[in-house]
Every structure is written in structure tokens, then in C-alpha cells.
Amino acid sequence: MPEHPRGKDFAAHIHTIFKVETPVAVALELVELNDRSSASVEQFSVIFKGPASPLLQQGTYVLLHAGMGQVALFLVPLGPQSGGMVYEAVFTRLIQQGETPGSAGETVAV
């Protein structure tokens, strides 16, 4: 996994499972990627859905994924939805000269 994951790193893994093992074991499905990047700023969020219980409090968790490896994300619980709990991780970084931004305004899956 890259040190600074980009939206495209997550886009290929929509509807796959990421596992949190500590402090409790929880499987989270990546259900959505919202890309709001511009020419100078990469800005996107990823939305995960997990079980209603146990609830993960707002904080940093190490997520394990078969294709992406290990990634530490700051997850914020957004609230319950369809019998489960929804979490969001938000990314913002300046785009360096020569890099290309993501697809601004793009939403992948739901």
C-alpha cells in the first residue's frame, strides 16, 4: 500500500472487505468513493459499511485488505444505515507539479 493512498487505489476495491482486528475484529465493506479533486488538490472520501455492533468509535484503525495490504485510516462513524453502521475516511492533499488529479466530482458505487 502506498504511504499516501489515492482515490484510484481504493476505486478498484469497491464492494470488497477490509478487516479491522484491533481493538475488536470487524469486517467493513468499501461501498463508496467520492472524489472531489481539483487541479491543485486531491480530495476524496471512502465510505465503509459494517455491522451495527460492535461500534467503532471515531479514531485511527489499521485495516487489512487482500489486494491493498495494510492501511491506517482515521474512521468517523456517520450513523446507522440498513441494519449496519456507516464509516467515512477523508483524504486531502496538495497535488505536486507533474501529478494528475483524480476525476473531480466522481462517485463510484453505492
The pTM of this model reads 0.84
List the chain domain ranges.
Answer: 7-97
106 pLDDT tier (thresholds 50, 70, 90): very low
Angle at 2 between CA 66 and CA 12, to 5 degrees: 50
Name the more confident of 97 and 75: 75
- Decide if 1 contacts 68 (C-beta within 8 A): yes
Q: What is the pLDDT of residue 104?
A: 44
Q: What is the pLDDT of residue 4?
A: 73
Distance, CA of 18 to CA of 50 (rounded, Å): 10
Average pLDDT, the chain: 87
**Residue 57 contacts by C-beta under 8 Å, 6 or more apart in sequence?**
77
- Decide if 68 contacts 48 (C-beta within 8 A): no
**Residue 1 contacts by C-beta under 8 Å, 6 or more apart in sequence?**
9, 68, 69, 70, 71
Q: What is the pLDDT of residue 8?
A: 87
Q: What is the pLDDT of residue 5?
A: 81
